[in-house]
Chains A and B, each alone.
Chain A
Amino acid sequence: MTFTRRLLLSAALIFATGPAFAETAVKIGVLNDRSGIYTDLSGEGSVIAARMAVEDFGAAAKGIKVEIISADHQNKPDIASSIARKWYDQDGVDLIVDVPTSSAAFAVSDITREKKKVFINSGAGSADLTGAKCSPNTIHWTYDTWALAKGTGGAMVAAGNKKWFFITADYAFGHSLEKDTAAVVKAAGGEVVGSVRHPFPGTDFSSYLLQAQSSGAQVIGLANAGGDTVNTIKQAAEFGITQAGQSLAGLLIFITDIHALGLKTAQGLVLTESFYWDLNDETRAWSARFAAQHGGKEPTMVHAGVYSGVLHYLKSVEATGGKDSAAVIASMKSMPTSDPLFGKGSVREDGRKIHDMYLFKVKAPAASKGPWDYYEKLATIPAAEAFRPIADGGCPLLK
């Protein structure tokens, strides 16, 4: 057989078999912290969650070929934007997911809008992502500062804790969380007696705790995250803050933080999350599969959000029969969401994903059956009340 004939034959084979598979090829980029303080709550776990979504959706059988890549943005907006730009321009990425750290999320949101792609945020908190800085190409999936403030802040004030003091991380997310919580506290008839802003990340918080203690507040609101929150709670226990009658309100606490603190230190904390592995049979089954691939660690709500977001995206790709960003986003917003982790929900016009939130209390060591058995559910905040009403966000898209 001559070389030309062989070439022709193989070309014919490719054309013959081509359309039978890989009709749409989708590339998903998981961009998050893989070395800093948010690694455990996002990191490799988010990649595992994205992969599980692709498997559960059965993408291959439906003629959608999905490739997942990942990178470390080190919580820095400049690094996040240069990776996002390279992914969109050179690597053919269609969807970026996760991106914790609000300042980095804003950067990725701007570039995604400019390149007309899709951005599903799971890790970042600032409610401005679907408020003043909303974008037609950004969907904010798992939680936001408004929902956290509403859950924890509302519950604490309702229990009679009206005087608040804030210890706030000095960057976009911390400011946003403090602002939203203060609004909830004031609306419920409480007052803010003071606040202090600490450099991010910090190590020693005893000085701020002492200021909080002498302020006479009933509640110390921790408007920070990750290792900063862990350190603050650890040191509050040491300085006898809670024994002296003040309560701590962790405004953003992940289950990995509770794991790091240990129940002895963390017990009694009230917190708001949108997902917990031990909610029902479906979350338990999914989390067991996740933990098996992630060294026995249970998923955070950020991991769950990545799974749920990717799943909904793939459904929309299937429904529209292509990966045109505008069509896919329109479909994501019109089709109700449904998955084993967040149940039924929807994506609003401003890009806010709506689902139930939960108010949890951290168990005492004696009440816990073992590692990762940490939360007791106090209340379910129904989806309709959990997030900021669409009219109050000031999203320019709606005008």
Chain B
Amino acid sequence: MFELLGIPPQALFGQLLLGLINGSFYALLSLGLAVIFGLLNIINFAHGAQYMMGAFLAWMLMTYFGIGYWWALLLVPIAVGASGVVIERLMISRLYHLDHLYGLLLTFGLALIIQGLFRNQYGVSGLPYTIPAELSGGTNLGFMFLPNYRGWVVLASLVVCLGTWFTIEKTKLGAYLRAATENPTLVGAFGINVPRMITLTYGFGVGLAALAGVLAAPIYSVNPNMGADLIIVVFAVVVIGGMGSILGAIVTGFGLGIIEGLTRVFYPEGSAVVIFVIMALVLLVKPAGLFGRTV
């Protein structure tokens, strides 16, 4: 059996696969951020909190109403997305004519408030949420034991990411959206309700965060800080991919997951910073990000 840098190939394949799994969360979350930034020009700092709300709502449906995972997968994004619509209508829509910084500050404040409320109510230790029976267990791939649930996460994330990319880049609806970003007045003149479209886009982006939250609930600790821990990394992913680039968010999300996974094998202590080192390098060489359009 050959070894690569002292690591047996089985272990390496296993770690690559794990990286891909973490990458699916990065991709799903950065996708939502990229959609919101690309079409609304709002840096949505509440994204982590909305992801956390998704996980909590799945737990609440299970605990208070006995509604299981599969329904949560459908209902939670809709409910959290609706809360996003309310926030956009009441608050964010007042900031479009101002600098980006104001949107960032508002959503950052919202994130702190939401996290604080959940922390007060549920504490920080986290709440139990089990893997649905259909997806428990796992498959022995020879080089590693792959839990079925993780395989499902990669699959679900890929489908949602590609679907979103296709809708925005290749369909008529996506064309309207992109046109509305470029020139809202002109698109409005064609009889399209631009403000409503923007509201729904924000709701959709938030719904994506909530979906990631439901997917995460069975494997990560469901606690009020779960989003805050992740969101900084996700922002780095978006910056590396290029702010607002949908494809960039997806590709870098998966790619960085893999790089982080490899760092965990070769130098675990550095796994928390490797993404930020890459971000710094990318910003130095290509400030608009790997897939970003230079402005």
Q: A interface vs B, CB < 8 Å? A: 35-41, 170, 196-199, 201-204, 206-208, 210-211, 213-214, 226-227, 230-231, 234-235, 238-240, 244, 256-257, 259-262, 264-265, 297
B219 adjacent to A230 (CB under 8 Å):
no
How many angstroms from the CA of A203 to the CA of B230 in the assembled complex? 8
A41 contacts which chain B residues (CB < 8 A)?
Answer: 125
B145 adjacent to A203 (CB under 8 Å):
no
A256 adjacent to B125 (CB under 8 Å):
yes
B130 adjacent to A264 (CB under 8 Å):
yes
A197 contacts which chain B residues (CB < 8 A)?
Answer: 268-269
A-B contact pairs, 26 of them (CB 8 A): A35-B124, A40-B123, A40-B124, A196-B268, A199-B268, A204-B18, A204-B22, A207-B15, A207-B265, A207-B268, A207-B271, A210-B18, A213-B145, A226-B125, A227-B124, A227-B125, A227-B221, A227-B223, A234-B221, A238-B219, A240-B138, A260-B127, A261-B128, A262-B128, A262-B130, A265-B130
Contact among B130, B219, B261, B269 for A207, CB-based, below 8 A: B261
How many angstroms from the CA of A196 to the CA of B265 in the assembled complex? 9
Using known A-B contacts A170-B269, A240-B145, determine if residue A210 contacts B125 with beta carbons closer than 8 Å: no
Q: Please name 12 further chain A to chain B contacts, defined as beta carbons within 8 Å, in addition to the given A210-B14, A256-B123, sorted by A numbering.
A: A35-B119, A40-B124, A199-B272, A204-B18, A214-B10, A227-B125, A234-B220, A238-B131, A238-B147, A244-B145, A256-B125, A260-B127
CB-CB nearest 9 A-B residue pairs: A262-B128, A199-B272, A207-B264, A260-B125, A260-B126, A40-B125, A40-B123, A39-B124, A256-B125
B113 at the interface (CB under 8 A from A): no
B47 at the interface (CB under 8 A from A): no
A227 contacts which chain B residues (CB < 8 A)?
Answer: 124-126, 221, 223, 225
How many angstroms from the CA of A264 to the CA of B136 in the assembled complex? 13
A239 adjacent to B138 (CB under 8 Å):
yes
A238 contacts which chain B residues (CB < 8 A)?
Answer: 131, 138, 147, 149-150, 218-219
B271 adjacent to A198 (CB under 8 Å):
yes
How many angstroms from the CA of A234 to the CA of B14 in the assembled complex? 19
B229 adjacent to A201 (CB under 8 Å):
yes
A39 adjacent to B123 (CB under 8 Å):
yes
How many angstroms from the CA of A39 to the CA of B125 in the assembled complex? 8
How many angstroms from the CA of A317 to the CA of B45 in the assembled complex? 51
B138 contacts which chain A residues (CB < 8 A)?
Answer: 238-240
Using known A-B contacts A235-B219, A262-B130, A264-B130, determine if residue A203 contacts B229 with beta carbons closer than 8 Å: yes
B8 contacts which chain A residues (CB < 8 A)?
Answer: 214
Least Cβ–Cβ distance between A58 and chain B, in angstroms: 32
Using known A-B contacts A198-B271, A204-B220, determine if residue A239 contacts B147 with beta carbons closer than 8 Å: yes
State which size class the interface on B falls in.
Answer: 35 or more
A39 contacts which chain B residues (CB < 8 A)?
Answer: 119, 123-125
How many angstroms from the CA of A196 to the CA of B131 in the assembled complex? 27
Least Cβ–Cβ distance between A51 and chain B, in angstroms: 19
Closest A residue by C-beta to B21: A206
B125 adjacent to A36 (CB under 8 Å):
no
How many angstroms from the CA of A366 to the CA of B128 in the assembled complex? 17
Report how many A-B pairs have Cβ atoms within 8 Å: 108
B11 at the interface (CB under 8 A from A): yes
How many angstroms from the CA of A256 to the CA of B127 in the assembled complex? 10
List CB contacts (< 8 Å) of B20-41 with chain A.
21-22
B265 contacts which chain A residues (CB < 8 A)?
Answer: 207, 211
B269 adjacent to A214 (CB under 8 Å):
no
Q: B interface vs A, CB < 8 Å? A: 8, 10-11, 14-15, 18-19, 21-22, 119, 123-128, 130-131, 138, 144-145, 147, 149-150, 218-221, 223, 225-226, 229-230, 261, 264-265, 268-269, 271-272
Least Cβ–Cβ distance between A145 and chain B, in angstroms: 20
Contact among A170, A199, A203 for B226, CB-based, below 8 A: A203
How many angstroms from the CA of A199 to the CA of B270 in the assembled complex? 8
Least Cβ–Cβ distance between A332 and chain B, in angstroms: 32
A214 contacts which chain B residues (CB < 8 A)?
Answer: 8, 10-11, 14
A259 contacts which chain B residues (CB < 8 A)?
Answer: 125
Among A198, A260, A297, the one with the most B-chain Cβ atoms within 10 Å of its Cβ is: A260
Closest B residue by C-beta to A257: B125
Among A36, A38, A206, A261, the one with the most B-chain Cβ atoms within 10 Å of its Cβ is: A206
Closest B residue by C-beta to A241: B145
Closest A residue by C-beta to B222: A260
How many angstroms from the CA of A283 to the CA of B252 in the assembled complex? 54
A265 contacts which chain B residues (CB < 8 A)?
Answer: 128, 130
A239 contacts which chain B residues (CB < 8 A)?
Answer: 138, 145, 147
A262 contacts which chain B residues (CB < 8 A)?
Answer: 128, 130
B130 contacts which chain A residues (CB < 8 A)?
Answer: 262, 264-265
How many angstroms from the CA of A162 to the CA of B203 in the assembled complex? 54
B21 contacts which chain A residues (CB < 8 A)?
Answer: 206
How many angstroms from the CA of A240 to the CA of B14 in the assembled complex? 14
Contact among B10, B123, B127, B220 for A231, CB-based, below 8 A: B220
A37 contacts which chain B residues (CB < 8 A)?
Answer: 124, 225
Closest A residue by C-beta to B146: A239
Least Cβ–Cβ distance between A238 and chain B, in angstroms: 5
Using known A-B contacts A199-B272, A259-B125, determine if residue A210 contacts B144 with beta carbons closer than 8 Å: yes
A231 adjacent to B221 (CB under 8 Å):
yes
B125 adjacent to A230 (CB under 8 Å):
yes
Closest B residue by C-beta to A198: B268
Least Cβ–Cβ distance between B258 and chain A, in angstroms: 11
Least Cβ–Cβ distance between B243 and chain A, in angstroms: 24
How many angstroms from the CA of A80 to the CA of B230 in the assembled complex? 25
A230 contacts which chain B residues (CB < 8 A)?
Answer: 125-126, 221
